[in-house]
Amino acid sequence: MFQTRAGIPDEWPRERVRVGHVTPRPGHPAPLDETDRRLVEQLRADGRLSMRALAERLHISRASAYSRVERLHRDGVITGYTAVVDPERYGFGISAYVYLKISQHSWKAVRQRVLEIPEVWHGALVSGDYDLVLLVRAPDAHSLRDLVLSRLQTMPDVTSSHTVLILDELPADGHQPEL
């Protein structure tokens, strides 16, 4: 720990900081530069790009593309690759958001139980009137009713729920806002 001129503790000695250069803190990833951001955008649009194609699109060498992708993996910026699936064609004809209120301090236990339900495609701990919001998908209305009434509402620590049917969705095929 170091003291600043104002006497406020500072974790960084001044000699580590250079004008125009950001020195990463130990244990923290380096900040992303413009090339890293363009690389991530390319992979978000098409996670199957070869290193050669990625390098060509970014106008960098293959070695640079490879080392950047490796660093982004190591730093946890890129956490994996996935296929974008059409839920209806995959057999899930009905989708809904299910909002849950849960008992205080029960998030970890409820989280574990929710992770075991294959119909839950996404979940988030949120602020506001409800504690959790889940994106659920089911083959039909009967299956959705069973999921909500028999499996989610009866879960220990769930105190109430609210279900909202999804009538139409925006595409999830890479048309996400740029970072």
- Would you tell me how many other CB atoms lie within 10 Å of the CB of residue 39? 25
4-13, 21-30, 34-43, 119-128: the lowest-pLDDT one: 4-13
**pTM assigned to the model:** 0.70
pLDDT band at 30 (very low <50, low <70, confident <90, very high): confident
Half-sphere exposure of 68 (CA within 13 A, CB side): 22
What pLDDT does 27 receive? 63
What pLDDT does 147 receive? 98
pLDDT band at 15 (very low <50, low <70, confident <90, very high): very low
Residue 145 or residue 22, greater confidence: 145
Contact 119, 94 (CB under 8 A): no
First CA to last CA distance, the chain? 34
C-alpha to C-alpha distance for 38 and 51, rounded to whole angstroms: 14
Residue 100 or residue 86, greater confidence: 100
Region 95-100 average pLDDT: 98
Whole-number CA gyration radius for the chain = 23
What pLDDT does 84 receive? 83
Region 91-99 average pLDDT: 96
Q: How far is CA 2 from CA 12, 16, 27, 68, 85, in A?
A: 7, 12, 18, 33, 52
Q: Which residues contact 56 (CB under 8 A, 6 or more apart)?
A: none
Query: Could you write out the DSSP letters of every residue in 4-59?
Result: -TTS-EESS-GGG-BTTB-PPPTTSPPPP-HHHHHHHHHHHH-TT--HHHHHHHHT
7-21, 26-40, 57-71: the lowest-pLDDT one: 7-21
Query: Nearest to residue 77, comparing CAs of 22, 38, 33, 32?
Result: 32
Q: Domains of the chain, with CATH numbers?
A: 2-74 (1.10.10.10), 94-165 (3.30.70.920)
Region 96-109 average pLDDT: 96
Residue 108 backbone zone (phi > 0: left; psi -120 to 50: alpha; other: beta): alpha
Structure tokens at 158: 């769930």
